[in-house]
Amino acid sequence: MIRLLADPLRAQIVALLAEGPACTCHLVEDTGAKQPNISNHLRLLREAGVVVTEPHGRFTYYRLVPEALEAAAGHLADMASQARARSDARRECP
């Protein structure tokens, strides 16, 4: 998830989809990126389970899967908690 969102355009797409479902044409307009580039990023996000598609007439809308973002946020929060709790547990060098 971190690698997916490390790409600025993918992060922007996710932020836009957080505002509600959108089709590729909306994302092209909102980001200024080329359609093939947007489609490639959406494919990666879909394969990772971050977005799902919803057909609507002749258009395909993309919608965020909030649970995917919540799971990633929970994992990061757990690591932060562990790091906070073990901040003084320095390993000795051999």
Q: pLDDT, tens digit, for every residue of 43-88? A: 999 999 999 999 999 999 999 999 999 988 888 899 899 989 988 8
Cα atoms found within 13 Å of the Cα of residue 24, Cβ hemisphere only: 15
Residue 28: pLDDT band with limits 50, 70, 90: very high
From residue 76, give the alpha-carbon distance in Å to each of 40, 42, 69: 26, 23, 11
Residue 14: pLDDT band with limits 50, 70, 90: very high
Rounded distance between C-alpha atoms, residue 40 and residue 60, angstroms: 14
Q: What one-letter code names the amino acid at 23?
A: C
